[in-house]
Amino acid sequence: MIRHPAFWRYTAFQIPGWIIASVGGWWVHRWLDVPLWVASGVLVVWVIKDYVLFPFLRSAYELDHRLQIERLIGEHGKATDQLSPAGYIRVRGELWRAKSDTNLTIEPGIPVEVRGVEGNTLIVSRKS
In this structure, the answer to whether residues 46 and 94 fall within a common structural domain is: no
In this structure, the answer to whether residues 49 and 73 fall within a common structural domain is: no
In this structure, the answer to whether residues 97 and 114 fall within a common structural domain is: yes
In this structure, the answer to whether residues 57 and 74 fall within a common structural domain is: no
Q: What is the CATH number of the domain that holds 79?
A: 2.40.50.140
At 98 the three-state DSSP class reads strand
pLDDT at 3: 61
In this structure, the answer to whether residues 95 and 114 fall within a common structural domain is: yes
**How many folded domains does the chain comprise?**
2
CA distances, 16 to each of 21, 33, 59, 90, 127 (Å): 9, 25, 21, 40, 46
In this structure, the answer to whether residues 42 and 86 fall within a common structural domain is: no
Please give the model's pTM, rounded to 2 decimal places: 0.57
User: How does pLDDT run across 73-111, given as a tens digit for each residue?
Assistant: 999 999 999 998 899 999 999 999 999 988 788 999 999
Q: What is the DSSP string of 10-71?
A: HHHHHHHHHHHHHHHHHHHHHHH---HHHHHHHHHHHHHHHHHHHHHHHHHHS---S-TGGG
User: How does pLDDT run across 36-55, given as a tens digit for each residue?
Assistant: 999 999 999 999 999 999 99
Distance (Å, whole) CA 106 – CA 111: 9
In this structure, the answer to whether residues 56 and 80 fall within a common structural domain is: no
